[in-house]
Amino acid sequence: MTKTSVVLVLGAFTLALGACVQGSASSSTDTDIPDIVMPGDPLAGAAVYTALCSNCHGRDLQGVTGLGKPLAPSEFVAGTSEDDLVSLIIMGRLINHPDNTTGVSMLPRGGNPSLGDQAIHDVAAYIKAHN
């Protein structure tokens, strides 16, 4: 076998192995491998908040009349743990929820179903940092 043949065989083997590994990882479900969520990062949360949450809660966390409540300062936020804020953001608060005082739904994950748990933890840390 020539040197070129060996390189080609090894290259093909490496590509095949990579496809197998990638294929097995993509076939797993969320229940197979849980996401690892680190503590919330307020700096990362600022970017997510500005892009997603500020539409209803204001760029300065002061709320938007008829849409979202003020988040800073907020007695509710100050008296709520970061984990409970994460749960609220994940679940949302629909119009018929007994604690909804605005008459406007806050959709689960802020209306972005692809918003990951880590990003939500970051947003909660950002909000808590301003209270």
Average pLDDT, the chain: 81
User: Which pLDDT score, from 0 to 100, does residue 33 have?
Assistant: 61
pLDDT of residue 36: 82
Give the least confident one: 2-6, 45-49, 85-89, 100-104.
2-6
Query: At residue 55, does pLDDT exceed 70?
Result: yes
Scanning the structure block, which residue is given the tokens 């970051």? 122
Q: What is the pTM of this model?
A: 0.72
Share of the chain above pLDDT 90, in %: 70
- Percent of the chain at pLDDT > 70 equals 73
How far apart are alpha carbons 89 and 94 in whole angstroms? 11
Which band of pLDDT confidence, cut at 50, 70 and 90, is reported for residue 15? very low
The answer for 61, left when phi > 0, alpha when psi is -120 to 50, beta otherwise, is left
Q: Is 126 exposed, middle or buried (0-12, 13-18, 19+ CB in 10 A)?
A: buried
